[in-house]
Amino acid sequence: MITPVIIEQIFKSASISRWNDYPKMVNLVELDKQAHKFIIAYFLASFEDDIDMGYLIEAGIFEFLARIVVTDIRPDVFHHIQKTHKEKINNWVLSILENDLKLVQNGEFFERFKNYLNSKDHIKEKTILKASGYLATRWEFNIVYQTSQFLNDIEELKFKVEEELEDYYELIGVRKIVMNKKLARLVDLSGRLRFQKRWAQTPRIPETSVLGHMLVVAILSYFYSLKVGACKTRKIYNFFCALFHDLPESLTRDIISPVKYGIDGLSEIINDYEMRLIDDKILPFVPGNIRDSFSYILGIRKNGEKFIKDEFENRICESEPKFIEGSLQSVNEDKFNAIDGKALKYCDKIAAYFEAGISISYGVKSKELVAGFEGMEEFFKEKPKVEGVNFYEICESFKKHFGLEA
């Protein structure tokens, strides 16, 4: 499904600091920026006609992987080089990633990556990705600006950042964000998840935020979808369900499982409160034309007289959301809008396994981190497969690559 080298590349972005030559009140990293970019892209696409969401997702992943490889080059320098040496840059990126990406989907994923770097089609999708990346950067700059106003070139930089905005005014969603309409509220809400740290009670390298974790799980879900031969809508819904699975934590903060499930009845109380917050502070700001679809992505469905939320249950949605027990291969058609909730739970869990394991491999560990790592490994050992995908094998190859074998 995914190789340890690609896992390492993804988590490398959590150590890549942005705005290095400017003082800032918090560390801003590439993984969080990319996660924010994907979230913004989802909402910008909702206002446009004839957007290929499958292409948008995969193109975004391609751009993310490429950006990790070239991240040591300053953005302004990189953009200048691209104008005259784009082919050489692309070939270098491909040479770094080729061996591992060729193992995904029998090499088809890598071929699409190679074609994407040299293609000139899907202009609208590329514009949305470019605008989303810009808006995520602009959001970061508002943080940087607060602590950099004493620098003599900061106003010039601010002018350049704001000037670029004009390039994306053709997109309705961009205009709504700039005018501080409802959509701007969602951009802020999701962006604030970069300030909530995973494993907050224990030292860990690299630190990852809830926002960054959401993207890691989404990318894992996409590779899982490729592995099981998921239809187009199944891939799309799996990706965005994973991408938004922790969004309500922007309202409730991360409540760790031992607390949530260790106190009798607390889980249900939290679920009810979370539903109320979603109804008050998230759904009213979601564009009306995708509100039902977004609720489905969040895992909301009616159960008797009340609404419940479970993003990690297998489900389909033709006219209304419906829980599915067992395999989804029998509903692997676009019309069912299937979501592999159980597999996404595995992706969520193995992302946490990677977070703990990478830190342990660096020598930064605690009893809690080691216990969590070993506990998750035991889980995958006892229940290794979903739809034939062996997650325990991924754990084994991960341990070997990072020198964590006993």
125 closest CA partner among 61, 207, 193, 216:
61
Region 345-366: what's the mean pLDDT?
97
Q: Where are the domains of the chain?
A: 4-195
Rounded CA-CA distance 148/154 in Å is: 7
pLDDT at position 265: 56
Please compute Rg for the chain using Cα positions.
21
Of the listed ranges 37-41, 78-82, 162-166, the least confidently predicted one is 78-82
Give residue 346's identity as a one-letter amino acid code: Y
Q: What are the φ and ψ backbone dihedral angles of 42, each rounded to 5 degrees?
A: -60, -45
pLDDT at position 261: 46
The superfamily in CATH containing domain 4-195 is: Hypothetical protein af1432 (1.10.3210.10)
165-207 pLDDT tens trace: 999 999 999 999 999 889 999 999 999 999 999 998 899 999 9
- The proportion of the chain whose per-residue pLDDT surpasses 70, expressed as a percent, equals 94
Checking if the pLDDT of 71 tops 90, the result is: no
Secondary structure (3-state) at 322: strand
Sequence-distant (6+) residues with CB within 8 A of 182 are 176, 284, 285, 287
Rounded CA-CA distance 41/139 in Å is: 14
pLDDT at position 200: 86
- CA 54, 232, 35, 361 dihedral sign is negative
Confidence of residue 74 (pLDDT cuts 50, 70, 90): low
Helix (H) / strand (E) containing 368: helix 367-382
Region 293-299: what's the mean pLDDT?
95
pTM of the entire structure? 0.94
Mean pLDDT score across all residues of the chain: 91
208-260 pLDDT tens trace: 999 999 999 999 999 999 999 999 999 999 999 999 999 988 777 655 554 44
Rounded CA-CA distance 340/132 in Å is: 27
- CA 210, 260, 256, 304 dihedral sign is negative
Confidence of residue 73 (pLDDT cuts 50, 70, 90): low
Rounded CA-CA distance 84/322 in Å is: 53
Confidence of residue 72 (pLDDT cuts 50, 70, 90): low
Checking if the pLDDT of 280 tops 80, the result is: yes
Of the listed ranges 67-71, 379-383, 390-394, the least confidently predicted one is 67-71
